[in-house]
Structure 1
Amino acid sequence: MNRAQLIQIAEDTINILNSGKYFNSKRQLVNIKELVDKSIKESILIEPTEDLKSKLSQLKAAGRVEDNKEGIIEVANETTLAGAKRLLDQGYKKVACLNFASAKNPGGGFLNGASAQEESLARSSALYPCIVQMEKMYEYNKKIKTCLYSDYMIFSPDVPVIKDDVGNLLDEPYLVSFITAPAVNAGIVQQREGKENIQKIPQVMLNRIEKILILGILQGCDAIVLGAYGCGVFRNSPQNVAQYFNTLLNEEAAYKKYYKKVLFSVFDRSSSQENYKAFLDLFSN
């Protein structure tokens, strides 16, 4: 699809979200206002200073979370929403999707026809109004002088998805939760920032991914859809990012055991399949 078509789909999505209803392919009226309003109202901003690890320890000590789940890890060459829908169809109850977010602009460039992962999520769902209200995160990331960015993140529960990945309206919406968190923009850090910040990239990414995984657990998600986080325009190496996830899911705290399913939906149409292969090679055993 070209930029003009993507803009048209995005504008149509915004109009539907504002009206709270649409007609599906069967000419049935689908009311989504209550679902949209609820997901906006219940979205929460996580401050960088929040100690999510301690919260998890407290819940575990109280027997309110368990780390003895199946922890199945799967890698698939598919979009984030295709993966999420598949998990819901398989019976997982609350699926979280990681939104590879812009640090400074809610929805990235989806209103301007950009086509990365966050934009595709915003075109298909009620994600945008859930995150655009969290001005504090975006203003902070604009203000700080590093593209390491901050550990601000947003959790948006039960967000209605109303379109497929090519913009067709669904006969009925399905609900997924979104974790909106920007990766380090490694390309800019390496080009424009000093050696000290370049050396921080691995630890900052590890810490941020750990918070993402814990946030999904704290919010009661039994499955999470991850991917090649920060491996597009932010230029993180897919091999490095896959290893960050492996360290946290399989080694150290073994966070996979808090989930029934961990899915890496790595949508890779390149001839080299570098992003997809990096995750497949590491997690296919």
Structure 2
Amino acid sequence: MACHRRKSAAECRAYAKWRVDMLAERHAGALRRSIGLTRIVEGSALPEVEARWATTTIEIASTDTASAAIEASRRGERVCLLDFASYLSPGGGFLSGAQAQEEALCAHSSLYPALDARWDDFYEPNRSDHNDDLYYDRGLYVPDVLLFSGDEDVAAKVDVAVVAAPFKGRAMMTWGVSEQICDRVMGERARFAMDLMATASDEPVQTAITGALGCGAFRNDPKVASEAFLSWLEEHPGAFERVVFAIPGGSNLAAFEEAFAGVTSVPTRTSPSD
């Protein structure tokens, strides 16, 4: 029954409804916990990133973010996964059958109810001020999200950082924002996403799972995104033990492979904090 890109929008809509109903029926306790722990995080409120590991290993993987997170969790790693989010709607087009990264993540996890619970204090204010579709450094941190292998088998429990990239295509076409400004904001948003994953949890995150944030329907340049991620990692060695850029093929994968060519790890310059 699992929804994937070979399925029609109607089939994915039906699957989304099934997933939401199934979660409410079989995982109510886990949902309450995750929803209760979810919090809004503003960029200005994040603490300083600490070096917690001697070396950060960097991997570029031709896979999706959920699969990479499940693999890392099975290795015993504490994982935070980045949701390439809609700034305006919980789960983006999940309920309507869309199939981008956030929608696929909602289809195969317990994330959607935690997002839907934040209409009043997150999505409604975002809709009131979307900053010409550039959005802001404003996200959610959702702990203890269940990831499913297939339809019903719980394969992992991970934290999810919810961050929206600027919608470059709409910002330029609708609001006349320059490409230069869009690219600058994209770089800043990638850095915010990494800051959020590195600092928002009470317990250190060992493995961060991210990818080509904003480089699909939002039309951001993967070269800009990949270079911003690389710059952040070079400036914050040891923030994670491992970072995986999970990108399922295509030109985005090629751009990240080029940006990270020869870069497989970033050692700390001083001893990591205890």
| Shorter-chain TM-score range | 0.7 to 0.9
Alignment partner, residue 236 of structure 1: 220
Aligned CA-pair RMSD: 1.7
Does residue 260 (structure 1) correspond to residue 260 (structure 2)? The answer is no
Q: Which amino acid aligns with 1:56?
A: E
Alignment partner, residue 51 of structure 1: 45
Answer with 132-141 or 102-111: which moved more.
132-141
- The normalised TM-score by structure 2 is 0.86
Q: Aligned partners of 2:259, 2:188: CA distance in 1, in Å?
A: 20
Does residue 157 (structure 1) correspond to residue 149 (structure 2)? The answer is no
Q: Which amino acid aligns with 1:212?
A: A
Q: Aligned partners of 1:18, 1:249: CA distance in 2, in Å?
A: 38
Q: Which amino acid aligns with 2:22?
A: I
Q: Aligned partners of 1:246, 1:42: CA distance in 2, in Å?
A: 30
Give SS of 2:228's match: helix
Deviations 1:191-219 (A, max 9, x none): 12235x54322332232222221222221
Q: Aligned partners of 2:41, 2:239: CA distance in 1, in Å?
A: 20
Q: Which amino acid aligns with 1:260?
A: E
Q: Which amino acid aligns with 1:2?
A: S
Give SS of 1:121's match: helix
Does residue 10 (structure 1) correspond to residue 16 (structure 2)? The answer is yes
Q: 1:101 to 1:77 in 2, by over 3 A?
A: same
| Structure 1 residues 126-145: aligned runs within 5 Å | 126-135=110-119, 136-144=121-129, 145=131
Deviations 1:113-165 (A, max 9, x none): 1000000011111111111222233223222251101111000011112343x
**Matched residues, number:** 251
Alignment partner, residue 73 of structure 1: 58
Q: Given the alignment, which residue of 243, 259, 267 partners 1:282?
A: 259
Residue 158 of structure 1 contacts residue 176 of structure 1 at CA under 8 Å; is this kept in 2?
yes
Q: Aligned partners of 1:120, 1:75: CA distance in 2, in Å?
A: 20
Q: Given the alignment, which residue of 28, 32, 43 partners 1:33?
A: 28
Q: What are the ranges of 5 or more consecutive residues in structure 1 without an aligned counterpart? A: 22-31, 58-64
With a CA cutoff of 8 Å and minimum separation of 6, indicate the structure with the bigger relative contact order: 2
Deviations 1:66-98 (A, max 9, x none): 344321000111111110011112221x21111
- The normalised TM-score by structure 1 is 0.82
| Runs of 4+ displaced beyond 6 Å | none
Q: Aligned partners of 2:93, 2:112: CA distance in 1, in Å?
A: 11
Does residue 169 (structure 1) correspond to residue 152 (structure 2)? The answer is yes
Alignment partner, residue 83 of structure 2: 99
Q: Aligned partners of 2:41, 2:134: CA distance in 1, in Å?
A: 17
Alignment partner, residue 28 of structure 1: none
Give SS of 1:155's match: strand
